[in-house]
């Protein structure tokens, strides 16, 4: 007798195995295999019979219509999606619990509903009353959003197929959905995949835009199979630190738009507020005049963003000094430290290094190297950097400062926010407009910048108590202290 096929599927990565085992060989996680009823594959005898249909091949050149978009009415959300929701597209929004996914989507659906579009919000996690309560708190209770607390995909699709097709459907969250077509329990990889598939098919067929909310695991991946990320048209991740009010919406994948844009929001008592000028926000609590901080003039997507980089270099008692980084790539930090040691004579091997990007932003640009190096040397030399200066430039392994793109935009933003000078790569100096409004200091090599900063400082511990006390106060990250003026 043929055995009913079932397989053991890793709930972390989606890999399937014939037998149970303690460790998933694909991703290395322990105790993540769960027995699930296998896909009832079509027998080979039936599959092989049909001859394929022929179709016409097209050329690359030819007419293409711009994807019709539906703006959400929230400029920061539209920036990340690339100008609004595309008809028939499916978007996955991931983020930690409590970060504000439901709040963001309640606001977006309400705004669209108020603009006269049919929008539906399906909550699988909260009862209708809870969703209403949130809408009330947001002052959006009057918006004509259609609500339901449902988890059966078949019921949802049947209901939504009636009447006018909704313009936007929010499914909060995909992990709570289940479909009859597979036997596994809700939340398992197979269920999540099958439910997502059914909803995506519905979106493509009817032209409704669907937003799926996805949970994230403790290491920040969107829970469930990676296949869902491959199936959807765009993946947005909603990030932020719980203790802070800023929330950053970042596009991780986008078939219809850019992937390097960020949208910045602030969580307030009345919901999420859009932050049109993030630089002002990230610099609002600067710790003026203390060593170890440098302002980086960065670019996020199409928008310049100034942000404070904070470094603390402290003597280490450990055999292997600590290197702790928040908001930047730790490999990149190691590289900058190595260049400082090898080419600039800065000995860091006996020091712990802590590095933080203020405001919870994550920086991926190599252009941050120069600002990071300036912050590190400033902390080590106990020499505060000029508070009216911004830094940008990439550092190469030879210790040279390499040019970076978009110099005029960076300088313009710095001038707008009242900065008076910019430290930039020698080769990009020519890119700067004549009326930049900033004094430009170009550096060709990192060693000249290091010498410049070190000349102004006193090495910590060289003299008595006072600088030590300063160093200790510097250990409190700037954002936990407010400085007036
Ligand atoms: P929520 O949208 O429920 O998070 P998620 O769906 O991502 O789990 O938001 C939860 C948090 O947001 C909660 O801790 C309360 C806070 N919040 C505010 O601060 N202001 C508000 O107006 C709302 C609605 C929520
Ligand atoms: Mg929620």
- Does domain 280-457 fall under CATH 1.10.10.10? My reply is no
- CATH 3.30.230.10 location in the chain: 280-457
Name the closest ligand to CA 105. Answer: 1
Nearest 5 degrees, angle CA 315-CA 460-CA 467? 120
Which of left, alpha, beta for 252 (phi over 0: left; psi -120 to 50: alpha)?
Answer: alpha
| Closest atom of ligand 1 relative to the 99 alpha carbon | 7
* Banded pLDDT at 236 (limits 50, 70, 90): very high
pLDDT reading at 45 higher than 80: no
pLDDT reading at 470 higher than 50: no
Sign of the CA dihedral running 131, 137, 141, 143: negative
Give the pair of three-digit tokens for residue 272.
């999420």
* Banded pLDDT at 219 (limits 50, 70, 90): low
pTM of the prediction? 0.76
Name the closest ligand to CA 100. Answer: 1
pLDDT reading at 394 higher than 90: yes
How does pLDDT run across 20-39, given as a tens digit for each residue?
999 988 888 888 888 877 65
The confidence score (pLDDT) of residue 338 equals 95
How does pLDDT run across 154-203, given as a tens digit for each residue?
999 999 999 899 999 999 989 899 999 888 888 788 888 899 999 999 99
Return the CA Rg of the chain. Answer: 27
The CA 162 to ligand 2 mean position distance, Å, reads 27
Name the closest ligand to CA 139. Answer: 1
Edge-to-edge strand ranges of the sheet holding 16-17: 16-17, 6-10, 33-37
**Tokens 């910045």 belong to residue:** 264
97 is in an annotated binding site: yes
102 is in an annotated binding site: yes
Instruction: Tell me the percentage of the chain whose pLDDT exceeds 90.
Output: 51
Give me the CATH topology for the region 69-276. Rossmann fold (3.40.50)
Instruction: Report how far residue 131's alpha carbon sits from residue 17's, in angstroms, rounded to the nearest whole number.
Output: 40
Residue bearing the CA closest to ligand 1, atom 9: 100
Q: What is the mean pLDDT of residues 453-477?
A: 51
Residue bearing the CA closest to ligand 1, atom 25: 271
The CA 7 to ligand 2 mean position distance, Å, reads 31
Q: What is the mean pLDDT of residues 412-438?
A: 88
């Amino acid at each position: 007798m043929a055995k009913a096929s079932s397989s053991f599927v890793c709930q972390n990565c989606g890999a399937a195995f014939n037998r149970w085992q303690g460790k998933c060989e694909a991703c290395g996680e322990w105790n993540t295999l769960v027995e699930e009823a296998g896909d009832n594959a079509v027998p080979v005898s039936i599959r092989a019979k049909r001859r394929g249909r022929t179709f016409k091949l097209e050329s690359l050149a030819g007419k293409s219509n711009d994807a019709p978009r539906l703006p959400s009415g929230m400029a920061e959300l539209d920036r990340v999606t690339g100008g609004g929701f595309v008809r028939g597209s499916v978007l996955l929004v991931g983020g930690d619990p409590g970060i504000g996914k439901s709040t963001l989507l309640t606001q977006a659906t309400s705004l669209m509903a108020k603009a006269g579009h049919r929008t539906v919000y399906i909550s699988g996690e909260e009862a209708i009353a809870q969703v209403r309560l949130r809408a009330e708190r947001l002052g959006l209770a009057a918006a004509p959003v259609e609500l339901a607390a449902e988890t059966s995909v078949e019921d949802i699709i049947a209901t939504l197929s009636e009447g006018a097709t909704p313009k936007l459907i929010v499914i909060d969250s995909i992990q709570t959905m289940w479909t009859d077509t597979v036997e596994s329990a809700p939340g398992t990889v197979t269920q999540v995949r099958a439910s997502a598939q059914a909803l995506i098919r519905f979106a493509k067929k009817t032209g409704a835009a669907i937003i799926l909310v996805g949970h994230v695991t403790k290491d920040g991946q969107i829970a469930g199979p990676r296949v869902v990320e491959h199936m959807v048209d765009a993946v947005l991740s909603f990030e932020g630190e719980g203790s802070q009010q800023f929330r950053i919406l970042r596009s991780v994948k986008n078939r219809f738009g850019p992937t390097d844009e960020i949208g910045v929001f602030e969580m307030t008592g009345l919901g999420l507020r859009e932050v049109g000028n993030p630089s002002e926000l990230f610099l609002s609590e600067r710790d003026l005049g203390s060593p170890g901080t440098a302002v980086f003039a960065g670019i996020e997507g199409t928008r310049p963003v100034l942000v404070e980089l904070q470094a603390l270099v402290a003597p280490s008692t450990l055999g292997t000094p600590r290197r702790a980084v928040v908001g930047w790539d730790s490999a990149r930090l190691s590289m900058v430290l190595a260049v400082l040691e090898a080419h600039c004579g800065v000995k860091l091997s006996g020091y712990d290094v802590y590095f933080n990007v203020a405001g919870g932003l994550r920086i991926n640009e190599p252009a941050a190297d120069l600002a990071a190096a300036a912050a590190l040397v400033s902390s080590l030399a106990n020499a505060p950097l000029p508070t009216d200066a911004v830094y940008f430039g990439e550092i190469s392994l030879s210790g040279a400062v390499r040019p970076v793109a978009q110099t005029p935009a960076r300088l313009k933003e710095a001038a707008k926010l009242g900065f008076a000078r910019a430290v930039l790569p020698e080769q990009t100096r020519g890119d700067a407009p004549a009326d930049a409004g900033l004094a430009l200091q170009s550096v060709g090599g990192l060693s000249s910048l290091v010498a410049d900063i070190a000349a102004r400082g006193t090495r910590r511990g060289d003299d008595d108590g006072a600088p030590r006390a300063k160093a200790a106060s510097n250990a409190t990250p700037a954002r936990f202290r407010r400085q007036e003026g």
